[in-house]
Chains A and B, each alone.
Chain A
Amino acid sequence: MTSVLHAPAAAPAAAPTPATPAAPAGGHLRVRGLSKSYGTLEVLRGVDLEVRPGEVTVILGPSGSGKSTLLRLVNHLERPDHGFAALDGEVIGYARRRAGWGARRREVLRELTERDVLRQRTRIGFVFQNFHLFPHLTALENVVEAPVSAQGRPRAEVEAEARALLARVGLADKADARPRQLSGGQQQRVAIARALAVKPALLLFDEPTSALDPELVGEVLGVIRDLAHDGTTLVVVTHEIGFARDVADTVVFMDDGRVVEKGPAAQVLGSPAHPRTRAFLDKVR
């Protein structure tokens, strides 16, 4: 499945000036009944969510409402207790199989091995709140690592693309800098380039600007805004209401592990139906 996705984009790498990598077709994310508890603490209580290809969904909500956990369950960094997430019909972390004998033979979701989950994750980019760049590698090496080692693509081709990606996030001159030599905003932009390098069908942002100084927030949001315009499916957890209003197709408001309200950005932010949403928006503004 991944190979089909990458085949067309791999071809023009030999061109003298590598064009900005073509945006891959956005994936279709479907989340059904996701639940997760840590001990007795119920973090998610049956979340349903649908993000159509190329759509931008912003998830808002107070801290502890389960937003980050939802993202981590979608790319299977953690195992859900119930429910599943599927990208373009492919269930993440499980495979549909028939198991059992005789009368007890039935359809099951067989847990995938770590190896297969890792392969699925190359279709899902993840941008962390604290960047988590690899500090001992340069910006370029950070971006090149996954396409080469996880997708087995030729290094030369990947490097050309990686430079183009770094240029796209405005860091063409920082290719050889190590993360510690970059500002927070620059680090997060490298992290976005790194997530884009595997040409994901879906990009997840977990509070991408929460660890940044106020004056650096704009540069990162600017990069995400550009991505929103060229067709990648995005799910962004953030507290930036202004960004949500400008960029989001759908805004989802979560509280206490549940989706309280979802709808078009203008509707949810302009005239929220649920009192909890209204209270939150009043406080944030």
Chain B
Amino acid sequence: MSAATTAPAPAPAPGEPGAGADRHALADLPVVPARHPGRWVATAAVAVLLAMVASSLLTNPQWEWDVVSEYLTWPSVLEGVWATVRLTAVAAVIGFGLGTVLALMRLSRSPLLQSVSWAYSWVFRSVPLILQLLLWYNLAYLYPQLSLGIPFGPEWLTVDTLDVVDKFGAAVLGLGLSQAAYSAEIVRAGILGVDQGQHEAAAALGIPRGRQQWRIVLPQAMRTVVPTSVNEIIGLLKGTSVVYVLAYGELFYTVGVIYGRNQRVVPLLLVAAIWYLLLTTVLTVAQYYLERYYARGALRTLPPTPLQRVRWTVAVAAARVAGRPLPADLPPTFLAGARRGHLTRTDRTDRTAPSTAARTTERTGGNR
């Protein structure tokens, strides 16, 4: 067939296998990976740069790694870390709780609710966070006492403002309320992104309105809400360092106090940096699993978790080193990727493997 179709051509171009007789010999030639000289040069350059950074980190005594390691688990530093975590958690709950309410208000049919939600975002996005924090801390100046009761009517419970809005209270209010303004927009965008047909289907089934939002719309909105939200929470985590203006003992303020005393500024800043890095890592891992969870309805099969991928990669590598066939219990999609790797010894382990056959046909197919 191949000979018949190529017959009218005067002659195969040099280097291009054309004659039908070569086909079988060709199928037996070993496959060698393509060369990428540019990639090698770039890799070498980056490796040298990395080595320079590593060597300076290790050899420059000014980093004072012994001081860093000493203070990394210092009791007051750990307390600061815990304070930062608490601030972030409470502010995130307030921020996203209130943010969701604001988003639903903005989407409601009442003009008053819409405008209040809009005005809230306008105000809290316009005023700098540091200014808001100081304002909340000085709430007692405006309202020395807070009371619970009927509006314009009797009051049942009265407390001193300073008892409720202490440093932690002011910090959480400032962070949470300003976060709500941003989260509202994120949640609103998520809800708007859900197909209109979903609202209609829920309405046509007679599902109550609150349940429609909670069970049908919000879980689908989460798919777009989660990535941006984790971004916001990471911002919030680092944003807690602004609370140092209230002299609240979170991580950044704590290391500041310590280096104020012992003058080891850089190592203590490093201590804080390492902790922020660790906390952000935890959030990033959480993000991965949250995204995976909310992808349930959107993907046919969920991607493997990093743990699964590591386990499978190790299994494949072990099989390669030992020259054994690839393990059979791996998912087919992953195996296909592993077989394509040029290090896989498919030719030695099992000659009749489907992948080899597929590659052969592919090659002959290219000759036609």
A interface, CB within 8 angstroms of B: 75, 77, 114-115, 118-122, 124, 126, 128, 130, 132-137, 145-146, 149-151, 178-181, 194-195, 198
User: B30 CB to closest chain A CB, in angstroms?
Assistant: 41
Distance in Å: Cβ of B215 to nearest Cβ of chain A: 7
Q: Is the CB of A180 within 8 A of B299?
A: yes
Q: Given A128-B200, A134-B216, A179–B297 Cβ distance below 8 Å?
A: yes
In the assembled complex, the Cα of A151 lies from the Cα of B294 at a distance in Å of 27
Q: B207 contacts the other chain (Cβ, under 8 Å)?
A: yes
Question: Among the interface residues B201, B202, B219, B294, which one has the most CB atoms of the partner chain A within 10 A?
Answer: B201
B206 near A114: Cβ-Cβ < 8 Å: no
Cβ contacts under 8 Å, A118 to chain B: 203, 206-209
Cβ of B300 < 8 Å from any Cβ of A?
yes
Contacts of A120 in B (CB 8 A): 206
Q: Which of A114, A115, A124, A130 contacts B197 (CB 8 A)?
A: A130
- The residue from A119, A137, A146 contacting B297, defined by CB atoms under 8 A apart: A137
Q: Which residue of A lies closest to B222 (CB)?
A: A136
Identify A178's interface contact among B195, B220, B297, CB under 8 A: B297
Do residues B200 and A121 form an inter-chain contact, with CB atoms below 8 A? Answer: no
Q: How far is the CA of A150 from the CA of B211 in the complex (A)?
A: 9
Chain B positions within 8 Å of A149 at CB level: 207-208, 211, 215
Residues from chain A with a CB closer than 8 A to the CB of B147 are: none
The reply to whether the CB of B205 lies closer than 8 angstroms to some CB of chain A is: yes
Contacts of A126 in B (CB 8 A): 201, 204-205
Complex Cα distance, B220 from A134, in Å, reads 9
Cβ-based interface call for B298 (8 A): yes
Which residues of the partner chain A approach B73 to less than 8 Å between Cβ atoms?
Answer: none
Which B255-308 residues sit within 8 Å CB-CB of chain A? 294, 296-300
Evaluate contact between B300 and A146: CB separation under 8 angstroms. no
* 8 Å CB interface, B32-55 against A: none
Question: How distant is A188 from chain B, measured CB to nearest CB, in Å?
Answer: 13
CB distance from B178 to the nearest CB of A (A): 31
Q: Is B198 in contact with chain A by the CB < 8 A criterion?
A: yes
CA–CA, A255 and B203, complex, Å: 28
CA distance A237 to B204 in the complex (A): 17
Cβ < 8 Å to A, chain B residues 161-203 = 195, 197-198, 200-203
Minimum C-beta distance from B252 to chain A (A): 39
Complex formed: what's the CA distance from A64 to B235 in Å?
Answer: 50
Bound form: Cα–Cα A133–B200 in Å:
11
Q: Could you tell me the distance in whole angstroms from the C-beta of B337 to the nearest C-beta in chain A?
A: 22
Most buried by B among A77, A118, A137: A118
What are 18 A-B pairs at a CB distance below 8 A?
A115-B209, A118-B208, A119-B206, A121-B206, A122-B205, A126-B204, A128-B201, A132-B198, A134-B216, A134-B297, A136-B220, A136-B294, A145-B215, A146-B205, A150-B206, A178-B297, A180-B297, A198-B206
Pair A77/B200 contact, Cβ less than 8 Å: yes
The residue of chain B having its C-beta at the shortest distance from the C-beta of A197 within the complex is: B205
Q: How many contacts A-B (CB < 8 Å)? A: 79
Q: Return the chain A residue nearest B210 by Cβ.
A: A149
The contact string, 1 if C-beta is below 8 Å from chain A, for chain B 215-245, is 1100110000000000000000000000000
Chain B residues within 8 Å of A, Cβ to Cβ: 195, 197-198, 200-209, 211, 215-216, 219-220, 294, 296-300
A128 x B206 contact (CB < 8 A): no
Residues of chain A within 8 A of B197, CB atoms compared: 128, 130, 132
**Hey, which chain B residues are within 8 Å of A150, CB to CB?**
205-208, 211
Given A135-B298, A149-B207, 16 more A-B residue pairs with CB atoms under 8 Å apart are: A115-B208, A121-B206, A122-B206, A124-B204, A128-B197, A132-B201, A133-B201, A134-B201, A134-B202, A134-B216, A135-B297, A146-B207, A178-B297, A180-B300, A195-B205, A198-B206
Q: Given the interface contacts A77-B200, A128-B200, does A178 sit within 8 Å of B206 by beta carbon?
A: no
**How many Å from the CB of A148 to the closest CB on chain B?**
9
Residue of B nearest to A194 (CB): B205
Q: Which residues of B contact A151 (CB under 8 A)?
A: 206
Contact between B205 and A121, CB atoms less than 8 A apart: yes
Distance in Å: Cβ of B368 to nearest Cβ of chain A:
32
Is the Cβ of B203 less than 8 Å from the Cβ of A121?
yes
Residues of chain B within 8 A of A121, CB atoms compared: 203-206
Q: State the CA gap A41–B60 with chains docked (Å).
A: 78
> 9 nearest interchain CB pairs?
A135-B297, A136-B297, A132-B201, A122-B206, A146-B205, A126-B204, A121-B206, A132-B197, A150-B206
Measured between beta carbons, the chain A residues less than 8 angstroms from B216 are 134, 145
Chain B contacts for A135, CB-based, 8 A: 220, 297-298
- Inter-chain CA distance A178–B296, complex, in Å, is 8
Q: How far is the CA of A150 from the CA of B219 in the complex (A)?
A: 19
Query: How close is B347's CB to chain A, nearest CB, in angstroms?
Result: 36
Tell me the minimal C-beta distance from B202 to chain A in angstroms.
8
Tell me, in angstroms, the Cα distance from A149 to B209 when the chains sit together. Answer: 10
Q: How far is the CA of A198 from the CA of B206 in the complex (A)?
A: 9
Please give, as numbers and ranges, the residues of chain A lying within 8 Å of B211 by CB-CB distance: 149-150
CA distance A134 to B296 in the complex (A): 11
Instruction: Known A128-B201, A130-B197; judge A136-B207 contact (CB<8 A).
Output: no
CB of A193, distance to nearest CB on chain B (Å)? 12
Cα distance A130–B294 in the bound complex, in angstroms = 22
Q: In the docked arrangement, what's the CA distance between A126 and B202, Å?
A: 10
Contact in complex: B205, A198 (CB < 8 Å): yes
For the complex, what is the distance from the CA of A120 to the CA of B297, rounded to whole Å? 29
